[in-house]
Structure 1
Amino acid sequence: MIDARPEPLKVPPTGSWATYKRLLAYVKPFWFAFSLAVLGNIIYAAASTGMAAAMEYVITAIENPTDQNRLLLTGLIVGIFALRGVGTFFSQYFISYVGRQVINALRNDVFDRLMTLPSRYYDDNASGRLVSKLTFNVEQVAEASTNAITITLREGLTIVGLLGFMLYTNWKLTLVFLTVGPVIGLVVNYASKRFRRISKRIQGSMGDITHVASESISGYRVVRTFGGEDYERERFRDVSDQNLKQSLKMASTQAISVPVIQVLVAIAIAALVWTMLSPEIRGEMSTGQLIAFITAATTMAKPIRQVTSVHAKIQKGVAAAYDVFETMDEQPEEDRGEYTPERVEGHIEFDKVCFRYRDQLDNVLDGISVSVPAGQSVALVGRSGSGKSSMVSLLPRFYEYTEGDIRIDGRSLKEFSLKGLRSQIALVNQNVVLFNDTIAANIAYGALRNCSREEIREAAAKAHALEFIDRMPEGLDTMIGDNGVMLSGGQRQRLAIARALLKNAPILILDEATSALDTESERHIQEALETVMQGRTTLVIAHRLSTIEKADRILVMDKGHIVESGTHEELLAADGAYAQLHQIQFSEHA
C-alpha cells in the first residue's frame, strides 16, 4: 500500500546564524539603502569617538583660554553634535526602509507559499496560528532586521572607534580594560540561548491566542446560544496567561543580564582608574589625555549595554524567522502534470481507487471503480463517513489517491497541471465561502473577474438570484459583509450557483448544496441546479434523496465501497440499502 504522504523537504538548519544569514539574504535587493544606513552608523560612531577624543582639547582650552581656543572648542561641540544628528537620521531612516521592505517581501513569500500548500497542511494547522505567523511572527522578524541591525552597527562601530582611540592613546591601559571581555561574552551567550528558547514559546502562545480568539469571535452565535461564554473566557485566559508567563521570563532574563554586564563594565573602569594611577602604566600621558581616555572608557559602557541588550531582539527575530521559514519550506502541492486542455468532454473514470488520510491506517475509499459518461449526473448517497466527500475531493486533487487511478477523457489526473485540471471543475459546497466584497465580485471571483456585467447578471438570473439582488440597495454592487453575513442561507447558496454557472466548467461537483435550506429556498435552488447541471458531468452528494431522484445514476456508498448502483426506480425495486434509506427519510418527512 502506497503512503499518500509526500516526502517532506529537508528541515532548514536550526542554528541561529544559519537562519539569520537566510534572513539577511532578503536585505540584498535593498543594498543601496542599507549602505546609506551603514554610512550613517559610521558617521555616528566617528562623532561619538570624536567626543571622547575632544576632551583633550577641552582641558587644553580650559588651561589656555585664548580667543582661538574658545572659537575652536565651540565649533568642535556644534560640529560633533551636527555629525551625530546626520548619522542618526541616515542610520534610522534607511534601516527602517530596508526593514519594512524585508517584512513586505517575507509576508508576501509566506502568503504565496500558503496559497500553494496542500489540503493536509490546512488540516494540520489551525487558521488562527497561520494568521499569527503572517502578523506577529513576521513583525518579530522586523525587530531583528531593523532595530537590532541599527543598534548593533551603530553601537558596535562606536565601541570599535573608542577602542581604537584607547589603543592609540595607551595600549597597556586598554588591555586592562579588555580583561572583562570574555566574562561579558559568556553572560551574553547564556542570555542569547535563553532568549531564543523563550521566544519560540512566546510565538507558540501568540498563535494559540489568535486561534482561540478567532474561533470564539467567528462562532459567537454558538457560544452565546449554548452558554459557552465562561468556557471561552477560561480558554482565552489560559493561553493569555501562558503568553504572560513566557513574556515575564523574557523580561527577567533581559533585566538581569543588562545590569550584570553594566557591573562588569564598571569593574573594568574601576580597575582602569586604579591602574592608571600607577606612574609605570601612565607613562608620559598628559592630564588631557588621561581624561580623554577615561571619557572613552566610560562612554563605551552605554554602547556595550545596548549591544548586549539587543540580543533579546535578535533572538526573538531568529526564532520568528525560523518559524516563518519552516512554513516557506513546506512542500507545495505536487504539480508535475503539463496537460492544460481548453475544455474536456467530461468522461470520468474511477479505476480501483483507494484512499486514506495521512494518519489513518484504514482506507476511507477501498477499490472504487465507476465510469461516468460525459454529461451524465451521478448522485452519491450513504450514511455519514461512507466516503462520499472524500471521493469528490480526489477529483480536483485536493488530496492524492493512494492506489488506482482517476481519468478524465482517458487521461490520468496526474497528467493534468493543477491549474488546467481545476479550470474544468466548478464546485458548489454546503458551506458556501463568500468574501467581504460586492455581490458582483463574489460571483465573478478569481479567474472570472474579467467577465462582463451582462454575463454576471445572466448567471445570477439563471441561479434565481436576481430576484433578491435587485431588491438590494446597490444591486450587484452591494457589499455583503464577512462571508456573506448580510444574506440568508438560500441567498448565499444561489450566489455560489451563479459563480458555478459563470465559470461554465464541463464538470460540476455539488456537495450537499441544498442540505441546510428551507423548502421554498430548496425549490428555487433545485430549479437553479437543474439549469446548471444541463450538459455537464455532475457529481452530486445529497442527504435529501428527494433532490436526486432525477439523477441519471445513483451510487450508494457504505464504508468506502459502492454497494449499489442504478436509477431511483431501479434501486427502489431492488429493495436494498437505497430503498431502506428512502423509507427512513419518507417516514421522517411524513
Structure 2
Amino acid sequence: MNAAFNGSAWKTYRRLLTFAKPYRGLLVLAALAALVEAAGSSLFLWLMKPITDETFVSKNMEFAAWLPAAIIAVFLVRGIAGYLTDMSMGRAARSVARDLRVRVLGKYLRLPGSRFDAEPVPSMLVRLGSDSDQVAQAAVDALKTMVQQSLQVIGALCIMLYISWQVTISVLVLAPPLAFVMNKVAKRYRRVSHRIQESGAQLLQAADQTLSNQQEVKVYGAQPEELRRYATLADNNLRLAMKVEATRGLSSALVQMMGAIGLAGLLLLAGHEAAAGRLTAGGFVSLMVSMIGIIPALKSLTSVQNVLQRGVASAERLFSVLDAPDEMDTGLRPLARARGMIEFRDVSARYPGQAKPALEHISFVARPGTVTAIVGRSGSGKSTLIKLIPRFYEPEGGQILVDGVPLQEYALADLRRQIALVGQQVMLFDGSVTANVAYGEMRSADPQALDKALRDAHAMEFIEQLPERKDTPIGVKGSRLSGGQRQRLALARAMLKDAPILILDEATAALDNESERLVQDALTQLMPDRTTLVIAHRLSTIEHADQVLVLDHGKLVEQGTHAELLARGGLYAQLHGAQFREAQ
C-alpha cells in the first residue's frame, strides 16, 4: 500500500483508519477469518501435488479414497471463514460510513453562516452521501480485498517456494515491474477521483436547481437550455469516468500479460527442473495451479486501487469540512432570560470575498416592548443586519450589545435561546403538526401551552380539519399545507418559545390578503412585551412601528417613526409613495 500512496494520501488514509478503531473487534475477527481462508486456499494448492502423484502417477487408491472428503472439508472451512470476513468487514465499513455522516452533518450545523454562502447545499449532500460511502469502501472494503488477496498471493507463493524455490525465485523477477504498474495506476486513479467527485456535486446542484424551479423552467420554455446545461455536465462526468475505466482496463491487461509471461516462464523452468528429476508431475501441477491463482488475485489488487484512491479523495473532502473552524463560541457569561435591549454601535459587516461592505457604521437602539421596522431597497443590507443578532455572521467592526453586554460574551446557545425567528421561507419538516411547533428544545412543552400557541396563531381553525388533527403529517417542507397555514405554524412555534427578542423577516410578503390578515392578527398578540425587529416588504404593515430604520447600500440613511419619515420626504417617503401608487 505504501507504494500506491504518496505522503499526503498515506496521511489521509491513516487518519481515515482512526474512524475504524471503535470496530477493532470486528476487524480482528475479520483478519483471523481471512488468515483461515488463505490457509484453506494454500492447503488446497498443496494438495494438488499428492492428488496428482498418488492418484494419477502411483495409482494409490487408498490415498485417493479420502481426498474428496478432505477437499470438501477444506472448502467448507474456507467458505465459513470467507463469510465471517465479509460480514465483519461489511459491518465495520457501514458503521464507519454512518459515523462519518453523523459527524459531518453535526459539523455543518456548527459552521458559521459564511460556509453556507460559499458551498451550495447539493454539494453538502454529496459529501454526506456518496463521499461517505466511498470513504467506507476505502477504509474497510478496500482493505478487506487487499488483505484477502494479499494473503492468497502470499500463501500461493509459500506453496510454490516449498515445491520448487528455484522456479519460484526465477518467476519473481516480474515483481518490480508489477509494483511499478500498480503505483502508476494508483496515482492516476487518485488524480481523476477528485475531479469525479466535484463533477458529481455539480450534476446534483444543476438537477436540484432545475427541478426545484420546474414551474419557471416550463413557463419560460427553458427545458432545452436546462437539458443542454445538464448534458454538458453529464458529458464531463462521463469523460472522467471513462478515464477511470480506461485506466482500470489497461492496468488489468498489463497485469494479466505479466501473469501470462510468468506462466510461460514457469512452464519452461518447470520442464527443465522435471527433466533434471527435481520436480514431480504433482509438483508441476501444484506450481501451475498456484500461479494461475495468483493472476486474478493480482488483478483484484490492481482494480481495488480505484476504490482506494476514490475513497482517499472523498476522505480529503470530508476532512476539509471536519477541519473547518466552528462558529466562535467563547462566551462564558450565562443568560437565563434577557430583557431584550439591543444596541448597535457603529457596526460594519462584510461577506467573505466581497470588496464592498454589506453594512457600514450602523448605530441604533431597540428597546424592550418596542417594534423596530427595517426597510430599504433589495440588497440594502436588511437581512444581513438581523443575521448579526443571533450571530449567524460576525461584524467586521463595531459592537452589538444585548442588555448592555457584547454578544460575544454570552454563550452562543444562551444567546440564541433569547431569539424567536420567523422568516418568509418557513422551515418545516416531514412530521406532525406537534413535532413542527414543539421543535428542538421545546419538544417537551406543556400540551396546554402548545394548544394556546396554536390558537393565538389562528392555526387551530385548519388543524381541526386535518385527518389526525395535531398528529397529522404535513409533508416534506409542509407541502400538504398552504403558504398561510405554514406561516401560522411558524408563528405558533415562535409563540411557544416565548423568547424576549422576536425577528420577523418579511413574514407576510408572500401571502394573500386573507392569510396576511390572519398572520398580522397573530403578530399583534405575539409582539407585546418583546423587542421586535421586522423586515418589512409592505410598508403599510409597519405604520405603527415605534421606529423605522431605512437602509440604502448598507448605510442607515433615515431613522424615525412612520409619520416623521413621511414628513421628511426622503427615501422612505419615496418608497411609500411608490408602493401606494402600485396599490391603486
TM-score tier (shorter)? over 0.9
The equivalent of 1:429 in structure 2 is 423
Please say which of residues 397-406 and 18-27 is displaced more in the overlay.
18-27
Q: Name the CA distance, whole Å, in 2 between partners of 1:292 and 1:473.
A: 73
Conserved 8 A contact 2:375-2:549:
yes
SS in 1 for 2:545: coil
Equivalent position amino acid for 1:233 in 2: L
Conserved 8 A contact 1:14-1:322:
no
Conserved 8 A contact 2:94-2:136:
yes
Question: Is 1:399 paired with 2:393?
Answer: yes
Q: Name the CA distance, whole Å, in 2 between partners of 1:141 and 1:148.
A: 10
Residues 547-584 of structure 1: CA distance to partner in whole angstroms, max 9, x if unpaired? 11111111222222222222222222333332232222
Equivalent position amino acid for 2:199 in 1: S
Q: Name the CA distance, whole Å, in 2 between partners of 1:299 and 1:487.
A: 63
Please say which of residues 156-165 and 343-352 is displaced more in the overlay.
156-165
Residues 29-70 of structure 1: CA distance to partner in whole angstroms, max 9, x if unpaired? 111111111111111111111111111211232133345302
Conserved 8 A contact 2:255-2:295:
no
SS in 1 for 2:110: coil
Question: Is 1:23 paired with 2:16?
Answer: yes
Question: Is 1:383 paired with 2:377?
Answer: yes
Q: TM-score, normalised by structure 1?
A: 0.94
Please say which of residues 518-527 and 416-425 is displaced more in the overlay.
518-527
The equivalent of 2:483 in structure 1 is 489
Q: Is there any run of 5+ residues in structure 1 with no aligned partner, and where?
A: 1-12
The equivalent of 1:6 in structure 2 is none
The equivalent of 1:52 in structure 2 is 45
The equivalent of 2:78 in structure 1 is 84
Q: Is there any run of 5+ residues in structure 2 with no aligned partner, and where?
A: 1-5
Residues 342-377 of structure 1: CA distance to partner in whole angstroms, max 9, x if unpaired? 100011110111111111112221111111222221
1:280 shift after superposition? 10
Q: Name the CA distance, whole Å, in 2 between partners of 1:449 and 1:281.
A: 85
Equivalent position amino acid for 2:285 in 1: I
SS in 2 for 1:380: strand
1:256 shift after superposition? 1.2
Question: Which of 259, 263, 284 is the aligned partner of 2:257?
Answer: 263
Conserved 8 A contact 2:53-2:280:
no
Equivalent position amino acid for 2:27 in 1: F
SS in 2 for 1:277: helix
The percent identity for this pair of structures is: 39
Q: How does 1:331-350 map to 2 (within 5 A)?
A: 331-350=325-344
SS in 2 for 1:15: helix
Residues 61-107 of structure 1: CA distance to partner in whole angstroms, max 9, x if unpaired? 21333453023322321222112212211111111111111111111
The equivalent of 2:278 in structure 1 is 284
The equivalent of 2:30 in structure 1 is 37
- The number of residue pairs the alignment matches comes to 578
1:236 shift after superposition? 2.1
Q: Name the CA distance, whole Å, in 2 between partners of 1:323 and 1:124.
A: 15
Conserved 8 A contact 2:270-2:279:
no
The equivalent of 2:535 in structure 1 is 541
1:231 shift after superposition? 2.1
Q: Name the CA distance, whole Å, in 2 between partners of 1:360 and 1:281.
A: 82
Question: Which of 164, 169, 173 is the aligned partner of 2:163?
Answer: 169
SS in 2 for 1:370: strand
Question: Is 1:503 paired with 2:497?
Answer: yes
1:545 shift after superposition? 1.4
Equivalent position amino acid for 1:58 in 2: I
1:421 shift after superposition? 0.7
Equivalent position amino acid for 1:314 in 2: L
Please say which of residues 331-340 and 545-554 is displaced more in the overlay.
331-340
Residues 273-331 of structure 1: CA distance to partner in whole angstroms, max 9, x if unpaired? 21233359956333332332333222222212211221111112111222122222222
SS in 1 for 2:400: strand
1:465 shift after superposition? 1.5
Q: Name the CA distance, whole Å, in 2 between partners of 1:283 and 1:103.
A: 56
Equivalent position amino acid for 1:55 in 2: M
Please say which of residues 265-274 and 412-421 is displaced more in the overlay.
265-274
Conserved 8 A contact 1:340-1:419:
no
1:419 shift after superposition? 0.8
The equivalent of 1:7 in structure 2 is none
Q: Name the CA distance, whole Å, in 2 between partners of 1:388 and 1:357.
A: 14
SS in 1 for 2:337: coil
Residues 93-150 of structure 1: CA distance to partner in whole angstroms, max 9, x if unpaired? 1111111111111111111111111111111111111111111111122322343222
Q: How does 1:124-273 map to 2 (within 5 A)?
A: 124-273=118-267
Conserved 8 A contact 2:49-2:283:
yes
Please say which of residues 416-425 and 224-233 is displaced more in the overlay.
224-233
The equivalent of 1:9 in structure 2 is none
1:162 shift after superposition? 1.6
Equivalent position amino acid for 1:331 in 2: P
Q: Name the CA distance, whole Å, in 2 between partners of 1:229 and 1:527.
A: 42
SS in 2 for 1:293: helix
Q: TM-score, normalised by structure 2?
A: 0.95
Residues 226-262 of structure 1: CA distance to partner in whole angstroms, max 9, x if unpaired? 2222222222222222222211211111111112111
The equivalent of 1:476 in structure 2 is 470
Conserved 8 A contact 1:275-1:281:
no
Residues 370-427 of structure 1: CA distance to partner in whole angstroms, max 9, x if unpaired? 1122222111112222221111110000110010110001110001111111110001
SS in 2 for 1:278: helix
Conserved 8 A contact 1:345-1:506:
yes
Q: How does 1:441-460 map to 2 (within 5 A)?
A: 441-460=435-454
Q: Name the CA distance, whole Å, in 1 between partners of 2:18 and 2:109.
A: 23
Q: Name the CA distance, whole Å, in 1 between partners of 2:7 and 2:268.
A: 45
Change (3 A) 1:438 1:534: same
1:469 shift after superposition? 1.6
Please say which of residues 559-568 and 337-346 is displaced more in the overlay.
559-568
Question: Which of 557, 562, 586 is the aligned partner of 2:556?
Answer: 562
